[in-house]
A and B are shown apart, each in its own frame.
Chain A
Amino acid sequence: MQRPEIYPGVVFPETRKRNRIMGKLRSGHLVEAVLWLLLCLFLFIYSFQFDQDIEIYRFGATAWPRAIILLMAIAALGQLYHHWKRGDEASVQMISAAVDDGSEEAAHEAHHEGLKWYASTFGFLIIPFAYMRVPDWIAALLSAEGTGVHAIRIVCAAILIGIFVYSMRRNMIGAMLTLPLFFAAMLEDMGFYTLAPFFIIGVMYLFGETRPKPMATIMALIFGLLMLLFVKILYVGLPVGNIHPFYDIGSWIVTVLQ
């Protein structure tokens, strides 16, 4: 399949005609501008939290961030104007890079666009953040302590993993974006040594690999290499987890290797 033109500012994929509101403006463009302006508003309002005078510096702590916020708002409006007049065309004078890494047309051609896809993807991304917050809320609600909190975290992780596995085939990219974040969110509790093998298998699966033998071999190879390089040779301390039995597994691996 031929890639789109990447000559600087000359050709770019066709302006999509659907969902146009005004000129070449689409609803997606409007959402993008509104998001930027909301971000600016939020950052500006938050800047009053640290609006303090500095004796030796007349402009204080807020002048620099507020100047950036103002420029952001201007650029967001400029971008909206660009979308209105020119739609998805690249600027004439740009020396392209983002346009030629293929990410935009890959999204377009894989039909990873539209409100439904974004809703599904962001729905997926709630999972790791749910793991970061929900167990603490439940523990506070039940006044749980010590091993009770650990048990709540394990149960929450199991439920969220179940939801993740059940839903991942519906939106593989959403799952791909979520898996590393979920892995990172669980790292503190479960440890690198326990999670890494499952993470390797998960990434391979989401990239389309389904054959068990190559998956097991590559998993063992990658995990083995990482352990050898970072634990055995470089003595890098990786998180072992703080929940039983994950902590014990991690500590055992470190003891054996070192």
Chain B
Amino acid sequence: MDAFNNFLTGTITLFSDPLGILIFFGGVIGGMLFGAIPGVSMLTLAAILLPFTAHLSAEHGIMLFSVIYCTGVYGGAITAILFNIPGAPENAPTAFDGYPMTQKGQAGKAVGAAVMCSAIGGTVSCIIMMLATAPIADWAISAFGPPEIFALVFFGLAVAASVGAKTFWKGWLSILIGLMVAVVGLDPVGGIERYDFEMPYLLAGIHFIPTILGFFAVSEIFVQAEKKAKGSYTAPKLSVNFPTLKELIEHKFAVVRSIVIGFFCGILPGIGATLAAFMGYNEAVRWSKTPEQFGKGKLEGVISSETANNAATGAAMIPLLALGLPGGALTAMMVGVFQMHDMEPGPLVFINSAELVWVVFAAMFFANISIIFIGFLETKTIINLLRIPFQFLAPMILLLATVGAYAVRGLTIDVVVMFLAGVIGFFLRRSGYSVAGIVLGLILGKIGEQTFAQAMQMLHFEWGGFFDRPIALGLLIVGVVTLMGSVYGEFFKKKPPAAETPVS
């Protein structure tokens, strides 16, 4: 009942504030648009907006990002279905059946299913998030100290290494680059200058906003420039056609199964929606009586993937808000928004800024609901937007990123750092490294080193102290097992035969 009252309070606060309403709808529409336009993603929008959230209140800033997260995950499905270009990694499985449906002239039905199922998955996940986050945060206050948080960071990084890059080793190298970048500047215990190369600029560390802008927004433009050089841009034809009630009822088990899978995957730090979408799709194939039809334009493939990835969005907020640990690139940026307002996400947010939390929850709930209405209308707008040639979008995005990077501290060197990160990101991406891994390493690196130092001081530099703390020990063991499992897979597992081709 408390949760319901808080939700009502959050809703009233959200919709009684004209600026809040404007930001809410801006986030809903912006997330969908940037998710849908080929060459950019919700992460591009989030990276561009990140510096400007300093001018907003913490409540509005976090709410904007959470809304973009919900609708951006859906928006990415549109490009996955129409172009076979997933807007984000979590939309990749949507393309397996969505794109063949487009090729068969059923793009409207695929997009309609994505709209419906994204809304259902996201809304259910959001309700569970509202009920579960506060109790988890309450428990975390007493149960989570620096050793546990360090163990959770380790576990998150161990899992994240398996996501996003081409190989396990490149996944780790991506994360380690991020961790190394986080080392630059003053050390968190003694304030000793590290890797500053006698440049005063580096004393404060490499600012995460230009880095994020470079790795996501700028490198994306460079990748698109290369694709343009290859010449692979074609505009599809589209209509929006919701699946019938009969079709939805036929797939009710797929929807429920994907919600459960999506939620549990989303709650794991470091993977979230990406693993959710792949597992949702895989389980749909495994449970199906006609698995051979998957990859050839089966509606259930789109339904499973889109329900699961949106179900992960609400769940991904739980580790962020209850424990202060981001699970992916966008939640990592949310940590940035908190930090810009001199706040730290974590269990204390529920005590110190309860109103913020419930406004964010209410906004996420209504963002998911609005996918049905705005998604239907906006998909038609997107068809027209997709006709804008990328050569006209690219300079706009690059200049927005420039203004964003410069506006943080008024330093042109931040703009240089951003474009340099873009160039490095471009070369790393084309070599199979993961820019999301780098950003996660960058954000978790600072938390990781600080909590490790605090944990060791707390345990009097006795490693055995971890054995007396069951949660920390459990997380470390799971992290090591995950790591060893990946190493085992790397050295001993045989590659499955390449005969099955989901995309025909």
Q: Is residue B338 within 8 Å, beta carbon to beta carbon, of the partner chain?
A: no
Contact of B225 with A173 in the complex, beta carbons under 8 Å = yes
Residues 1-43 of A, flagged 1 when their CB comes within 8 A of B and 0 if not, give 1110111111110000000000000000000100010000001
Q: Is the CB of A180 within 8 A of B419?
A: yes
Q: How far is the CA of A8 from the CA of B171 in the complex (A)?
A: 14
The answer, among A36, A94, A185, for a CB contact under 8 Å with B162, is A94
Q: Is A150 an interface residue (CB 8 A)?
A: no
Chain A positions 196 through 239: 1 when the CB is less than 8 Å from some CB of chain B, otherwise 0: 10011001101111000010001100100110001000101111
A14 to B225 Cα, complex, angstroms: 23
The number of chain B residues with a CB under 8 A from chain A is: 98
Partner of B192, one of A52, A78, A101, A187: A52
Q: How many angstroms between the C-alpha atoms of A9 and B282 in the bound complex?
A: 13
Selected contact of A112 from candidates B171, B226, B389, B399, CB within 8 Å: B226
451-501 of chain B: CB within 8 A of chain A: 452-453, 456-457, 461, 485-486, 489-490, 493-496, 498, 500-501
Would B434 and A82 count as touching, CB distance under 8 A?
A: no
In chain B, positions 148-168 with a C-beta closer than 8 Å to chain A are 162-168
Q: At the interface, yes or no: B242 with Cβ under 8 Å from chain A?
A: no
Within the complex, the shortest CB–CB distance from A124 to chain B, in Å, comes to 10
Contact A103/B489 with A2-B503, A79-B169, A86-B495 known, Cβ cut-off 8 Å: no
- Interface presence of B204 (CB below 8 A): no
Question: Which residues of chain A from 85 to 111 have any CB-CB distance to chain B below 8 Å in the complex?
Answer: 86, 89-104, 106-107, 109-110
Partner of A91, one of B166, B275, B410, B415: B166
B194 and A61 form a contact (CB under 8 A): yes
Which of A59, A101, A196, A219 has its CB near the most chain B CB atoms (within 10 A)?
A101
Known: A61-B187, A91-B167, A93-B168. A1 touches B232 (CB 8 A): yes
- Given A64-B452, A78-B490, the answer on whether A125 and B423 have CB atoms closer than 8 Å is yes
- Name the distance in Å between A158's Cβ and chain B's nearest Cβ: 20
Complexed CA–CA distance, A64 and B153 (Å): 14
A contacts with B, residue count (CB < 8 A): 95
Given contacts A206-B225, A218-B392, A236-B403, is CB(A65)–CB(B461) below 8 Å?
A: no
Please, which residues of chain A bring their CB within 8 A of the CB of B168? 78, 82, 91, 93-94
Pairwise interchain contact A203-B394, C-beta atoms closer than 8 A:
yes
In the bound complex, do residue A68 and residue B179 qualify as a contact, i.e. CB atoms below 8 Å apart?
Answer: yes
What per-residue 1/0 map shows which CB atoms of B58-84 lie under 8 Å from chain A?
000000000000000000000000001
Q: Which residues of A contact B434 (CB under 8 A)?
A: 97-98
* Interface 9-mer from B19-27, B28-36, B85-93: B85-93
- Among B183, B416, B489, the residue within 8 A (CB) of A92 is B489
Is A188 positioned at the interface, with any CB of B under 8 Å from its CB? Answer: yes
A203-B395 in contact given A5-B503, A7-B96, A177-B426 (Cβ < 8 Å): yes
- Which chain A residues lie closer than 8 Å to B498 at the CB level? 5, 10-11
A76 touching B227 by the CB < 8 A rule? no
List 29 A-B residue pairs with CB atoms under 8 Å apart, sorted by A's residue number. Answer: A5-B498, A7-B501, A7-B502, A10-B500, A61-B192, A65-B195, A75-B176, A78-B169, A78-B172, A90-B167, A91-B166, A91-B171, A95-B89, A97-B165, A99-B166, A100-B92, A101-B223, A102-B227, A106-B232, A176-B222, A180-B398, A184-B415, A187-B406, A203-B398, A222-B396, A222-B399, A226-B403, A230-B403, A239-B406
Give me the 10 closest cross-chain CB pairs, A-B, nearest first: A97-B89, A207-B391, A54-B190, A79-B169, A97-B164, A203-B395, A61-B192, A184-B415, A200-B395, A93-B489
A residues whose Cβ falls under 8 Å from a Cβ of B = 1-3, 5-12, 32, 36, 43, 46-47, 50, 52, 54-61, 64-65, 68-69, 71-72, 75-76, 78-79, 82, 86, 89-104, 106-107, 109-110, 112, 125, 128, 132, 172-173, 176-177, 180-181, 183-185, 187-188, 192, 196, 199-200, 203-204, 206-209, 214, 218-219, 222, 225-226, 230, 234, 236-239
- Contacts beyond the supplied A54-B192, A96-B89: 19 A-B pairs with Cβ under 8 Å: A5-B498, A6-B96, A52-B192, A54-B187, A57-B453, A64-B453, A75-B173, A90-B166, A92-B495, A93-B485, A95-B274, A104-B429, A106-B223, A106-B227, A112-B229, A132-B416, A181-B423, A234-B52, A239-B406
